[in-house]
Amino acid sequence: MTGRSFVLGLLVGSLGLAGLACAGASSDLVAVDGPAFSQEAINDDANQKAQVSVLDRLQKQPAAPGADAVVAVTGTAELTGLDLASGKTWSYKHPLDHRPQLTGTVVVGTGNGELFVLDAKTGAEKWKSSKAKGKLVGAGSDGKYVAVTLKADSGHKLVVFGPDGSVKMEKATDQPLTSPGISAGLVLVPWKNLYVSAFEIETGAQLATFITDTETTHVVTWGGAVFAGQGRLVRFDKDLLKAKQGGSQLAAPPKELPNVSRRDLLVGPDHDERTTADAIDSTGLTGRPLTSGPAGFESGKIYGGYYPFVFGMDAKTAKLSWVHTGKDDFVAIHAGKDGVVGVDKAGTVKLLAAGNGALVKSFPLGKPALSADILADTLAIGSGSSAPLPEQIKEATTLKDDRLSTAQVWFLDTAAAVPDEATTEVLLQVADSERAAPAIKEASRKAIALRTNGAAAMITLLGRHANFLKGTRTPPVGPMAKALAVMKEKKAVQPLIEQLLDPTLPQIDLQDTAESVAVLAEKEHLPQLQRFMNMYRGSATGNIRLVDSIAAIAAAIIRIDDKGRDFVVAVTKDAFTDADVKLTLEKLLAASAPKKDDKKDDGKDDGKDDKKKKKKVTDDDPTPPGYKKKKAEEGKKKDEKKEEKKEEKKD
Amino acid sequence: MKAVSSTLASGNVAEIDAALTNIRMAGKEGGKGATAPLAARLKNGLPKELLKKALETIGELEDPAAAESCEAYLAHRDPEVRLAAVRCLGGAKGPAATKALRVALADLDVRVHGLAATLLGEAKAAEAVPELVVALDKGVNEAAVSIGQLCEGKAGSDKSCDALTERLKSKPLDVIASGLQQVLTRKDVPDDYKKNIIKVVRELSSAKAREVLESVKKGYPKDGSKAVLDALDKAIKDLEGAK
């Protein structure tokens, strides 16, 4: 049997069984002949006319408002629902073999071989049916009709039920059908992940088939409009006819989406076969597409979930707007018009404002949620106050949980891009936190090193030293030192030197601290710098960071003191100076030696500092004057001794 | 000492090592003049092993003037050097050394703060009792003995020996007993206070408590108070057969 004849066979069989005829469509619609769910007639004139008529019907008869509700699986055979408007909960017991779905104003579930439909607001059972044979794939409703797609051994089926649970329409095919939607008396069924076919429910007439030009596993009705897609959502309006040319109103998440939450706005229906939430549910992405005008998202936001986090992002740039940190992992999130609704594992339903993530309301389901579905079609979440973004990021990034580091690093990167002092303080707190995971601390340390403000907070933090009795720890000195050096913050020198001379300064911070001290130190700090060199020059071999730190301090000594070079030369020559230190200091001395032609290469000649210039040009000896004088004296003494010996020999 | 000074200033490891040995052998009296050249040598730095030896040597001179040189090396990154610096301070004695030992009590290294706790007791640094109590609470068992040596035999002060009895149930008995033993054998602590300690220990009603009291009795000074000794005997008798 060919695919087509199989379809026809199924179709005829189903029509015969249901006793339904493919009658002509209503007068405003155009019926299309041929097998259902076939792409053969897509480019025919009839289909194109039918497409226009379907879109006209959808525009004239906006989709009925859906519920504002939550339904959660709270047991192996138990559902708990919540009316988001009143906060009232309900429960319903029924075996479950598929995650229940909220669509229109109803909850559709299956289990124990029957389909059940409940009022989403109250949980009241509307009807049950055993006529939906097969495994539930998806469901759609406008509150009056309920359409389900099913997968059976014989193929795929679409069954549409009337308000009393009677079968109004049934279609069979070998094409994979996914999650349908109902609007304006039409059922719109996605198939083969690319097409959507429309049927008139009352007449059973086959109308148009559309190409969405985006992966399509769902048809949904939100805010009176109809959308289809999965990762992106295309609006069913006249522009849909230009989909192939890229002219449709396609609401797409931004390309810059962080690698944190999932990439698709909706999840493939096969995922809902599991009644318990998984990582896909806890890393959700949601956005409410605009119902008119150019494609986009309500409030200019899309929302991501990442275990205990829900965050708002700019819908065009994916820039983080806010992050809410919950106590428990979220198992579902769903965008409303002005915010997002989330359900966590503990069974708490949270309403978060679009603008700042303020927790506007929260409702308890009264039981932990194994999984949940949310619909917030008309709900106005409203607004509230929340902590500023840097504080929200601090809360999110100091949560110690290895699963969260990907998101936490992204939050910190976001914070690092905010150049204000408050953010610097937050980065300091994260880097200094005992609770933050190592990867997060590292990310905040990197960000701190690049800050150009917050010096006062850094200096205050530098005042804290590790102390066994007080139970205090060394702060993140290295990155602060780097930032303070770039800021040329002279007030930081003494606290930095004190950290440098503190034995508890971690090895990782040692070199950055020494190098920053070297940049900032002045003559008054010379004794402390010399102390550091003397303390370690004899016991640094093998410790590269310590050796390089000694070299940095030596460079500072040369820079700030006229006799600094003598000191460093003396240290280099001292028998107790380690070999590694000697080698490094010798290189430093060679590199920093005054050069004969320093000024010759300098094309500028402003006539100033003539004396200095003359001195440098004529002085080709790298040793400083003091050292030269000492050497000259030593040489003189040697000469005198030689003379004495000569005279002794003569005698 | 002139020769020592020039040897210490030299760059010869063997010569300096020998000079340090000679100073140690000369002892406190003989090596008196070596503090200044040793301090100068320490200021200019030395390789680790020589540095440790120099610190210990200057400490053995028991010269308070050495405290500054010892203290400087409490800042060394190598805990072994810091440990030598603490020993050095313990030897140097004097207010500056005591002050530096209190700093060392806050060192993160367990050997360093443990030794500092012990040496504070030996240095009779009664002002360090509150810090020693904090150290004891943080698990520095050496602090118990020092507290016992330094605490005040009266209630109601932050230096009171009550700090030990109050911890009888929260800290290992061996640790607290090591401090209480000090208190019970001190002559400056009133008998009534000692008898109260004996009573508190006896109330523990354990074989371990009896062992502690027997140990105290064993080391009790011959010229110690008879009333305290009687209280000890009675408590030990009361605890006979205790488990």
Chain A residue numbers with beta carbons less than 8 Å from the beta carbon of B44 are: 534, 574, 576
Query: Cβ of B46 and A469 within 8 Å?
Result: no
CB-closest option in B50, B77, B105 to A503: B77
Please check whether residue A209 is in contact with residue A42, taking contact to mean a CB–CB distance below 8 angstroms.
yes
Query: Cβ of B106 and A531 within 8 Å?
Result: no
Q: Which residue has the higher pLDDT, B240 or B6?
A: B240
% chain A with pLDDT above 70: 88
Please check whether residue B130 is in contact with residue B158, taking contact to mean a CB–CB distance below 8 angstroms.
yes
pLDDT at residue A608 above 50?
Answer: no
Last residue of a domain, one of A251, A274, A300: A251
Q: What is the pLDDT of residue B7?
A: 85
Task: Using alpha carbons, select from A280, A276, A10 the residue that is nearest to residue A134.
Answer: A10
Mean pLDDT value across residues B166-171: 92
Kindly report the CATH number assigned to the domain that includes residue B119. Answer: 1.25.10.10
Query: Cβ of A534 and B44 within 8 Å?
Result: yes
Residue span of the structural domain in which B26 resides: 1-123
Q: Which residue has the higher pLDDT, A596 or A390?
A: A390
Least confident range from A468-472, A580-584, B215-219: namely B215-219
Nearest-angstrom CA–CA distance, A624 and A626: 6
Residue B154 C-alpha, separation from nearest chain A C-alpha, in angstroms: 25
Mean pLDDT value across residues A115-131: 97
User: How many CB atoms are closer than 10 A to CB A531?
Assistant: 18
Q: What is the pLDDT of residue B30?
A: 77
pLDDT at residue A20 above 80?
Answer: no
Q: In what order do the strands lie in the sheet with A339-344?
A: A330-335, A339-344, A348-353, A359-364
DSSP state of B153: S
Last residue of a domain, one of A220, A251, A282: A251
Query: Cβ of B45 and A537 within 8 Å?
Result: yes
Q: What is the pLDDT of residue A56?
A: 96
Query: Cβ of B106 and A502 within 8 Å?
Result: no
Nearest-angstrom CA–CA distance, A599 and A121: 86
First to last CA, chain B: 63
Chain B residue numbers with beta carbons less than 8 Å from the beta carbon of A531 are: 72
Q: What is the pLDDT of residue A639?
A: 55
Is A419 inside a domain boundary? no
- Model confidence at B3, pLDDT cuts 50, 70, 90, reads confident
For residue B137, give the chain A residue with the closest CA: A469
Residues with Cβ within 8 Å of B173's Cβ and at least 6 positions away in sequence, in order, are B204, B206, B208, B209, B212
Query: Cβ of B108 and A466 within 8 Å?
Result: yes
Task: Using alpha carbons, select from B152, B205, B150, B214 the residue that is nearest to residue B177.
Answer: B214
Task: Using alpha carbons, select from A346, A347, A292 the residue that is nearest to residue A81.
Answer: A347
Q: What is the pLDDT of residue A3?
A: 39
DSSP state of A25: P
- Model confidence at B98, pLDDT cuts 50, 70, 90, reads very high
Chain B residue numbers with beta carbons less than 8 Å from the beta carbon of A466 are: 108
% chain B with pLDDT above 90: 80
Residues with Cβ within 8 Å of B237's Cβ and at least 6 positions away in sequence, in order, are none
Query: Cβ of B82 and A538 within 8 Å?
Result: no
How distant, in Å, are the alpha carbons of A282, A347, B105 from that of B142?
52, 52, 11
Is B31 inside a domain boundary? yes
Please check whether residue A602 is in contact with residue A620, taking contact to mean a CB–CB distance below 8 angstroms.
no
Q: What is the pLDDT of residue A640?
A: 55
pLDDT at residue A217 above 90?
Answer: yes
Please check whether residue A146 is in contact with residue A160, taking contact to mean a CB–CB distance below 8 angstroms.
yes
∠ Cα A113 A115 A119 (to 5°): 150
Q: How many CB pairs under 8 A join A and B?
A: 68
pLDDT, tens digit, 9 for 90 and up, residues A29-65: 999 988 999 988 888 999 999 999 999 999 999 999 9
pLDDT at residue A144 above 90?
Answer: yes
Mean pLDDT value across residues B228-232: 94
Mean pLDDT value across residues A101-119: 96
pLDDT, tens digit, 9 for 90 and up, residues B178-216: 999 999 999 999 999 999 999 999 999 999 999 999 999
Q: Which residue has the tokens 């949310």?
A: A374
Query: Cβ of A469 and B82 within 8 Å?
Result: no
Least confident range from A73-87, A424-438, B137-151: namely A424-438
The per-residue pLDDT of chain A, averaged, comes to: 89
Is the alpha carbon torsion for A309, A314, A319, A322 positive or negative? negative
Kindly report the CATH number assigned to the domain that includes residue A201. Answer: 2.40.10.480
User: How many CB atoms are closer than 10 A to CB A645?
Assistant: 10
The two structure tokens encoding residue A444: 């905040």
Residue B184 C-alpha, separation from nearest chain A C-alpha, in angstroms: 28
For residue A500, give the chain B residue with the closest CA: B75
Query: Cβ of B106 and A470 within 8 Å?
Result: yes
ipTM above 0.90 for this complex: yes
pLDDT, tens digit, 9 for 90 and up, residues A327-361: 999 999 999 999 999 999 999 999 999 999 999 99
Query: Cβ of A539 and B50 within 8 Å?
Result: no
- Model confidence at A196, pLDDT cuts 50, 70, 90, reads very high
Is A143 inside a domain boundary? yes
Mean pLDDT value across residues B99-123: 98
Q: Which residue has the tokens 């810091």?
A: B82
Chain A residue numbers with beta carbons less than 8 Å from the beta carbon of B130 are: none
Nearest-angstrom CA–CA distance, A54 and A60: 10
Is A646 inside a domain boundary? yes
CB-closest option in B11, B78, B105 to A575: B11
Last residue of a domain, one of A229, A251, A273: A251
Is B242 inside a domain boundary? no
Is A223 inside a domain boundary? yes
- Model confidence at A2, pLDDT cuts 50, 70, 90, reads very low
Chain A residue numbers with beta carbons less than 8 Å from the beta carbon of B74 are: 503
Interface test with A, best of B16, B41, B44 (most A CBs within 10 A): B44
Q: For chain A, which residues lie within 8 Å of any Cβ of chain B, measuring from their own Cβ?
A: 466-471, 501-505, 531, 533-539, 546, 574-576, 578
Chain B residue numbers with beta carbons less than 8 Å from the beta carbon of A467 are: 106
Chain A residue numbers with beta carbons less than 8 Å from the beta carbon of B12 are: 575
Is the alpha carbon torsion for A257, A261, A262, A264 positive or negative? negative
Query: Cβ of A469 and B138 within 8 Å?
Result: yes
Burial zone of A430 (CB within 10 Å; 0-12 exposed, 13-18 middle, 19+ buried): buried
Is B198 inside a domain boundary? no
Please check whether residue A556 is in contact with residue A593, taking contact to mean a CB–CB distance below 8 angstroms.
no
CB-closest option in B79, B81, B106 to A467: B106
Chain B residue numbers with beta carbons less than 8 Å from the beta carbon of A539 are: 47-48, 51, 78, 81
Q: What is the pLDDT of residue B8?
A: 85
For residue A541, give the chain B residue with the closest CA: B47
Query: Cβ of A469 and B134 within 8 Å?
Result: yes
- Model confidence at A602, pLDDT cuts 50, 70, 90, reads very low
pLDDT at residue A10 above 70?
Answer: no
pLDDT at residue A616 above 70?
Answer: no
Residue span of the structural domain in which A622 resides: 596-651
- The reply to whether B105 touches chain A by the CB within 8 Å rule is yes
Query: Cβ of B45 and A502 within 8 Å?
Result: no
Nearest-angstrom CA–CA distance, A28 and A53: 7
Please check whether residue B184 is in contact with residue B164, taking contact to mean a CB–CB distance below 8 angstroms.
no
Q: Could you tell me how many residues make up chain B?
A: 243
The two structure tokens encoding residue A11: 């179709």
- The reply to whether B45 touches chain A by the CB within 8 Å rule is yes
Q: What is the pLDDT of residue A636?
A: 55
Nearest-angstrom CA–CA distance, A274 and A286: 20
Q: What is the pLDDT of residue B168?
A: 92
Chain B residue numbers with beta carbons less than 8 Å from the beta carbon of A502 are: 75
Residues with Cβ within 8 Å of A542's Cβ and at least 6 positions away in sequence, in order, are A580
Domain count, chain B: 1
Chain B residue numbers with beta carbons less than 8 Å from the beta carbon of A471 are: 138
- Helix, strand, coil % in chain B, rounded to nearest 5: 75, 0, 25
- The reply to whether B9 touches chain A by the CB within 8 Å rule is no
Task: Using alpha carbons, select from A171, A138, A136, A164 the residue that is nearest to residue A152.
Answer: A136
Q: In what order do the strands lie in the sheet with A135-141?
A: A135-141, A146-152, A155-161, A167-173
Domain count, chain A: 2
Nearest-angstrom CA–CA distance, A463 and A474: 9
Q: What is the pLDDT of residue B214?
A: 93
What part of B 208-227 touches A (C-beta under 8 Å)? none
DSSP state of A100: -
Least confident range from A372-386, A579-593, A610-624: namely A610-624
Q: What is the pLDDT of residue A73?
A: 98
The H or E element containing residue B143 is helix B142-150
Chain B residue numbers with beta carbons less than 8 Å from the beta carbon of A533 are: 45
User: How many CB atoms are closer than 10 A to CB B88?
Assistant: 29
Chain A residue numbers with beta carbons less than 8 Å from the beta carbon of B43 are: 534
Is A317 inside a domain boundary? no
pLDDT, tens digit, 9 for 90 and up, residues A464-512: 999 999 999 999 999 999 999 999 999 999 999 999 999 999 999 999 9
CB-closest option in A471, A533, A535 to B76: A535
Q: What is the phi/psi pair of residue A159, to 5°?
A: -125, 130
% chain A with pLDDT above 90: 78
Q: What is the pLDDT of residue B6?
A: 79
Is B137 inside a domain boundary? no
pLDDT at residue A625 above 70?
Answer: no
What part of B 50-69 touches A (C-beta under 8 Å)? 50-51
